[in-house]
Amino acid sequence: MVAIAQAAQRDDWQARWGARIACVISNRPQAEGLAKATHMGLRTQVVDHSLYQQHSHPREAFDSALMQAIDAYQPALVVLAGFMRILTPGFVVHYQGRLLNIHPSLLPAFPGLHTHQRAIDAGCCFAGATVHQVTVDLDDGPILAQAVVPVMPNDTANTLAARVLTQEHVIYPRVVAQLLSLKSLSR
């Protein structure tokens, strides 16, 4: 999120494409990203998923509240960054074609969690990150960009994760900027 926000400010997405980060929304009130966003002068909002646990269908109730919060901003893109919840099919379909995520593996390899350790355990020579459109299938949407890093002989999940993260900070803002550029051309 911070890398995207920094790119938006540095490259003046507002002047170039009429695009801005409308709001940083988190499902966790104590998320570090909220404080970082506030420090960067961005609007923030919390839709706390724990408040929906008493509903008969908590995931659907939370996703409905999250959609209401997002839709208030009428976004051209919905960019997930550090959002660690599986979204309901209704939510995903609602934002189809404009919902993005980044995953810390070279999809289709290693969807889900613990990707770095799984890559090391599998003996991979390379790992990386994938920016993709979100679909109803977990970590399975159309790939928009990938970055590759070597897996070193002495890597741990943490050292590999740190090396992948540096590339995530490069490719995710780049993909968002490319999509915004295309959207401004199609107006």
- Taking each helix axis as running N to C, give the angle between helix 32-39 and helix 2-10, from 0 to 180 degrees, rounded to the nearest 10: 10
Which residues are annotated as catalytic? Answer: 103
DSSP 2-69: HHHHHHHHHTTHHHHHS-----EEESSTT-HHHHHHHHTT--EEE--GGGGTTSSSHHHHHHHHHHHH
- The two structure tokens encoding residue 163: 């090396």
